[in-house]
Amino acid sequence: MTSQARIWRHFDVWLLAAVAVLTISGVAMIQSAIADNPELLELDVVGRQTIYALAGFTVLLLTAAIDYRMWSALAKPMYVFNLAFLALIPLAGVVGFGATRWFQLATVTIQPSELAKILMILVLADFFARNKHVIRQPKTLIRSLALTGVPLFLIFSQPDLSTAIVIGVIWVALLFAAGGNVKHLAILAGAGLFGSVALWPFLADYQKSRIVTFLFPNPDASFGATYNVNQALISIGSGGWFGQGYGQGTQVQLRFLKVRHTDFIFSALSQEFGFIGAALLLLLLMFVIFRCLRAAQTARDTLGALICYGVAILLLFQGSFNIGMNINIFPVSGLPLPFLSYGGSSLLSSLLGIGLVESVILRHKKIEL
């Protein structure tokens, strides 16, 4: 048996299968959620998501085949590319939903901030792995903060507060996983609370509106964030134990539930498949996160462990925030539900992250010669 064949013996088929089920379920729910909406049918959102899914699984397998340690040598070029890509957004980006976050290339729309999440996991994992012997020193904290701060600022200025928060969470999580000083982390937490208040004047009007309506909701609202959340809660509650059936959800099919194929796809799924269907979805997503954390534990080096931990935190935070938004315990944001919400860039970045985890798993043991 060749050395390459020996590597693939360790491939995590269960992780791939769970991700495949989630992705296929997402495409199926998007099909139901568009509810014969002529605008969405004209855009062929189901066909687009299917193509992105196929491309994403190809990227996953190719990424798994590449030794993850090769990315360490490319960390600096990737970081520069990331900054350049984000910096071009104000110059050539497409405006949508009050923000400039996308590039339009022919019929393909690319969101650089989604790719930035994975690139920052690689860049920060490489930085902390290289500096693990001085990880508890203040200078390491400051350097890592500067490394994270530039792309975070570029994303925040789009404006995209939710993705900027994701980048910040990834930084804090990887710093903690790498053995950062707990006192420093506590100071960061305090600074973060203060900073969240100080940033209020710099938020876009729609961002302020979402926070205000979350804190002081108007139960009689007929549009806006409060209306969307009310419809989401009605959708989830009316699903009961087993749901109203695929393609039969009243709030979904009658279009009372807005952005049901993106932000509120969890509510659409809950209405059609009920508590049991939603619970199975959550268990499957937690299983994926568990396999990522397991890969971090069995990784052969710090770099591999931090990559897997970063991907797990990304999926956990985004999944938790999206579902929390659907059940009104977090403000409405544009964070997608991993593998299920419509969005090609989001799906590709999630599958790329799983490909990196698989690459670490394939090489968690020394290759026999």
* More confident site: 331 or 54: 54
> What pLDDT was estimated at residue 146?
92
Query: With 90 as the cut, is the pLDDT of residue 350 above it?
Result: yes
Helices assigned H by DSSP within the chain: 3-8, 13-33, 38-43, 45-65, 70-73, 75-87, 89-92, 112-130, 138-156, 161-177, 182-198, 205-215, 224-238, 250-253, 265-298, 302-326, 344-362
DSSP SS3 for 224: helix
> What pLDDT was estimated at residue 369?
35
Asked, for residue 369, whether it belongs to a domain, the answer is no
pLDDT tens by residue, 140-186: 999 999 999 999 998 988 778 889 999 999 999 999 999 888 787 78
pLDDT tens by residue, 194-227: 776 777 676 777 777 778 777 777 666 656 667 8
Tell me how many domains the chain contains.
Answer: 1
Angle at 316 between CA 126 and CA 304, to 5 degrees: 25
What's the mean pLDDT when you consider all of the chain? 86
Say what the pTM is. Answer: 0.90
Asked, for residue 255, whether it belongs to a domain, the answer is yes
pLDDT tens by residue, 13-33: 999 999 999 999 999 999 998
Query: With 90 as the cut, is the pLDDT of residue 318 above it?
Result: yes
Asked, for residue 77, whether it belongs to a domain, the answer is yes
> What pLDDT was estimated at residue 3?
57
Asked, for residue 264, whether it belongs to a domain, the answer is yes
DSSP SS3 for 37: coil
Asked, for residue 34, whether it belongs to a domain, the answer is yes
Asked, for residue 368, whether it belongs to a domain, the answer is no
> What pLDDT was estimated at residue 221?
61
Q: Which domain holds residue 37?
A: 3-362
> What pLDDT was estimated at residue 91?
67
Comparing 92-101, 190-199, 208-217, 283-292, which segment has the lowest mean pLDDT? 92-101
> What pLDDT was estimated at residue 14?
95
Query: With 60 as the cut, is the pLDDT of residue 283 above it?
Result: yes
How far apart (Å, rounded) are the C-alpha atoms in residues 287 and 308?
Answer: 14
